Structure 1
Amino acid sequence: MCGAAQATAELDRLNDRDLSDISGQGGIYLSGDISINEMGGPIENSYFGRCDDPDKKCGARLAYRLKEDGGWMVLDEIRGNFSFEGLTLRVRTIDSGFGGDGELFSRDVMEIGLPNVVRYNDVRFKIAGSNLPRPTAPGFRQTDILAVEMQGEVIMEGNLLVFPAGNP
């Protein structure tokens, strides 16, 4: 005769004193798969535009401002397949290393952990500068700086550190 033993546990509140003895790590663990108007995929996507019309934009757009009163840097017409498993986000203190500069810096940075399962396939995008974030805004002007197309699969690993700008 087979039987299963049941285990029950009661949840109890922890007070501040009990919590002070507990340590752990904070952060975020992400996994996902994103496809944006893949090459060889459907020619139309109502959100990202038609890819068969050379006069129209096709793909996703990421615009960010470098200074409050400055222009916009743009990753435009992003297309391809991106997948990742175990991508991590956490805050890390830099207070040593970097050829002695870490001790002088002595601040927190955001660390994006890139495990060896970050992949992208058949990707293309443009790096550009623009006066406005949205191409549909009146008076919009954009200057394309560089067009990138990568066919095949790329696997990334390591950590990407995002340093804050300005003085502490």
Structure 2
Amino acid sequence: MTINKLVLSLSTLMVATSSMAEMEAIDDFDLSEISGKGGVYLSGEFAINKDGGPLWDDPNEVSGFTPGTRPIFDGAGNIVGSEECENGICGLRLAIKLNENSEGWYVLDDVSGGMSFEGLTLQTETLTTATNYDVWVDGGFEEKAVDDEVLKIGLPGTITFNDFKFKFAVANNGEFGVPLQDGTAFRQTEIFGVQLDGNITVGGNLLLFPVD
């Protein structure tokens, strides 16, 4: 991920002391006078397997494959040809087991593409009260005393997706091509797939409240 902009409203954290841009830290007293409430402005972009094709090479020879390559398997455990992978069907795969007693895995598969945003802001704000939307009292939602600082996340307005896609699936084993101990072949069942290409408009703020 690359950060294109990082704007801090801190007045002088470091001071250039020579033409060689040598920096000197300010003392503790001056630092204590800085609140940081001006916030942070962030923009960025990240991409996963943007150009398609295999994500890595395996230097070890695999039986039946050319040294320096790694076989790719589909959801049924069948080998996918390299020409298919180059057409963009291969992406990042994450397999997650909730605990060691779980019989299967949740999978995000074929994750690829990219997304970018500009104008995500972070700042702190002191709130005296907040609305509790889980409790209805006297014809309205409950107002609770907060009197504390919260983290305010300003949404960036527009998020741009560039052929971003993934599949959600379940599997009986975490790794492609590996049978279970009883000899059962690997199986993965795809539940749904998502592909996004274009802009999504968002707005407003997210507030993160401190908890005990």
Which TM-score bucket, shorter chain as reference? 0.5 to 0.7
* Count of aligned positions: 150
Q: Which residue of 1 aligns with 2:10?
A: none
Q: Distance in 2 between matches of 1:149 and 1:112?
A: 26
Q: Which residue of 2 aligns with 1:5?
A: none
Q: Which residue of 2 aligns with 1:145?
A: 191
Do structure 1's residue 31 and structure 2's residue 44 form an aligned pair? yes
Partner SS state of residue 157, structure 2: strand
Gaps of 5+ in 1: 1-7
Residue 58 (structure 1) shift? 1.1
Is the Cα–Cα contact under 8 Å of residues 31 and 87 in structure 1 kept in the other structure? no
Q: Which residue of 1 aligns with 2:69?
A: none
Residue 119 (structure 1) shift? 0.9
The letter for the 2-side match of 1:82 is M
Equivalent positions of 1:129-144 (< 5 A) are: 129-135=170-176, 138-139=179-180, 141-144=187-190
Do structure 1's residue 19 and structure 2's residue 64 form an aligned pair? no
The letter for the 2-side match of 1:14 is D
Is the Cα–Cα contact under 8 Å of residues 31 and 86 in structure 1 kept in the other structure? no
Q: Which residue of 2 aligns with 1:81?
A: 114
Cα displacement string for residues 137-161 of structure 1 (whole angstroms, at most 9, x for unaligned residues): 55354332112234x4132424567
TM-score if structure 1 supplies the norm length?
Answer: 0.55
Q: Look at both structures and tell me which one has the larger radius of gyration over its CA atoms.
A: 2
Partner SS state of residue 23, structure 1: coil
The letter for the 1-side match of 2:84 is D
Is the Cα–Cα contact under 8 Å of residues 89 and 110 in structure 1 kept in the other structure? yes
Cα displacement string for residues 3-45 of structure 1 (whole angstroms, at most 9, x for unaligned residues): xxxxx865463225x43332014768351241534xxx65x23
Do structure 1's residue 45 and structure 2's residue 79 form an aligned pair? no
Is the Cα–Cα contact under 8 Å of residues 158 and 199 in structure 2 kept in the other structure? no
Is the Cα–Cα contact under 8 Å of residues 117 and 155 in structure 1 kept in the other structure? yes
Is the Cα–Cα contact under 8 Å of residues 45 and 114 in structure 2 kept in the other structure? no
TM-score if structure 2 supplies the norm length?
Answer: 0.46
Partner SS state of residue 96, structure 1: strand
Is the Cα–Cα contact under 8 Å of residues 49 and 55 in structure 2 kept in the other structure? no
* CA-atom RMSD in angstroms: 4.8
Gaps of 5+ in 2: 1-14, 18-23, 58-71, 73-81, 134-140, 181-185
